[in-house]
Structure 1
Amino acid sequence: MNDLVERFEVAFNQIHQHLKEFNGYPKNDNFVELLQRSKLKHSVIRVHFDLLKQYAKLRNALVHERIRDDYYIATPHLEVVESLEHIKQTLDQPPEALEFATHPVIFFKDTSLLTEIMTAFDQQGVSQFPIYSKDNEFLGLLTNDGIVRWIARSVDNNVVNLAGVTAKDVLQDGLNPSIEFLSSHGTVYELEERFERSLEEERKLKAVILTESGKANDAPLGIVTTWDLIKVDRRNEDE
């Protein structure tokens, strides 16, 4: 029985350490307070929030209501210990962001005709394409919404002339959405933090593009939108 208590306390303390790290090691390191803050940032905490709050109560009973050194007023069941250890393991070894990204990434050059890109929107069923220069410099993300707004601005006598219009022409219209880059080896926590920070800054982050080095001008290996983050929640729920 004491072995289960020890395993429980070890896993709990390691999770507590992760929570401190997630929140920049604040002065107030109360477990439940850190849990509350962390659930806004990380899906694994959000999914297991209620469970971890209950485990915190059990931990308090183990630590503060011990009758004597070798006798506890409450002890965890094996399934509780294993559940806590599983959460700890997920925090120790978070999945890579690339697991939740759309890949491979279809992209176009700035000289690509708009009609070609519009055809790809229809055929591929996606809503955005990265645009690069001939020197592989990232220029922006061309979205279907951006194209619609460009067309609305370009109507002349109820006619829009698309002849010769390129991706560069649309991007130059100032409709570039906010994009960030992350290494393809980055964790899902780093990915979630990018979107969370954009919310805090009241800046709508359209997507995070994953490259080998995390630099903008490397080849795109994956692209993640807010819709893709739903996959993270679902995976954690399934586990």
Structure 2
Amino acid sequence: MSDELVERFELAFNQIHQHLKEMNRFPKNDNFAELLQHSKDRGVIRVHYDALKQYAKLRNAIVHERVRDGYYIASPHVEVVEELEGIKQTLDQPPLGLDVATRPVMFFYEETELLHVIEAFREHGVSQFPIYRDGLFVGLLTDAGVVRWLQESVREGSVAVEGMTVGDVLGHEKVHNVEFVAEDVSVFEIEDLFERSHGEGEKLKAVMITEGGDRDGKLLGIVTLLDLILDDDGE
């Protein structure tokens, strides 16, 4: 039984190692511990980081401290093997972006009255809404953008909000970096988008999931960095 558990452990470990190489685009230094460190803020790796560090030590003991064929100084418990295989399975078949996305997504049109959108910000506790014109995506309206517009529109201590529309405010909104992906894109691919934007110094505000990944396709869900963090924490 011990030999079988060791074989299962090593197989799952090596497959996770391969996933780490792919996550890090096959760097020259493919040491497991180094790859794990570089991937510690990524999805399932974040959740199982501490366990994987310990399993790496166990793997080294199994491989490098073997007394003789069939006899190991260290041998994994069945629970350890099953957990490692579970991590490997999640990496093989990662959840979809839609699994962590905010759904359904509320959106508004440029001609929507601003007061209606301000009320929606308060009622739903969100910080941004997609805005459309004639079925075409034109940008994100954020609560910070509305506040900025209010500050710029103060006249003699008051702001005339009555009759104003989303379109009136959208011109004062920052141009936000938004990506569009299809409904079959995985959480890991979405994480890659956020990771890449951070590395390039272009903060990604949101990932919009649409039918076929088309910019103006039917909106199915929206993913922010907060969605990914909450999902990793199991909330």
Residue deviations 1:154-191 (CA, integer Å, cap 9, x gap):
11112222243221221112423322222222111112
Cα pair 1:142 1:176 within 8 Å, conserved: no
In the alignment, residue 22 of structure 2 is paired with which amino acid?
A: E
In the alignment, residue 14 of structure 1 is paired with which amino acid?
A: Q
In the alignment, residue 26 of structure 2 is paired with which amino acid?
A: Y
Partner of 1:228, secondary structure, is helix
Establish whether residue 200 from structure 1 lines up as the match of residue 188 from structure 2: no
Structure 2 match to 1:217: 216
TM value normalised by structure 1 = 0.91
Cα pair 1:58 1:74 within 8 Å, conserved: yes
Offset, 1:46: 1.5
Distance in 1 of aligned mates of 2:216 and 2:5: 51
Offset, 1:114: 1.3
Q: CA RMSD in A?
A: 1.6
* Identical pairs, percent: 58
Give the alignment of 1:163-178 within 5 angstroms.
163-178=162-177
Residue deviations 1:125-162 (CA, integer Å, cap 9, x gap):
3221100111x211001111110101111111122222
Establish whether residue 82 from structure 1 lines up as the match of residue 77 from structure 2: no
Cα pair 1:20 1:34 within 8 Å, conserved: yes
In the alignment, residue 218 of structure 1 is paired with which amino acid?
A: G
Establish whether residue 46 from structure 1 lines up as the match of residue 46 from structure 2: yes
In the alignment, residue 102 of structure 1 is paired with which amino acid?
A: T
Cα pair 1:107 1:129 within 8 Å, conserved: yes
TM value normalised by structure 2 = 0.93
In the alignment, residue 132 of structure 2 is paired with which amino acid?
A: Y
Gapped regions of structure 1 (runs ≥ 5): none
Distance in 2 of aligned mates of 1:25 and 1:125: 41
Distance in 2 of aligned mates of 1:60 and 1:120: 55
Cα pair 1:108 1:132 within 8 Å, conserved: yes
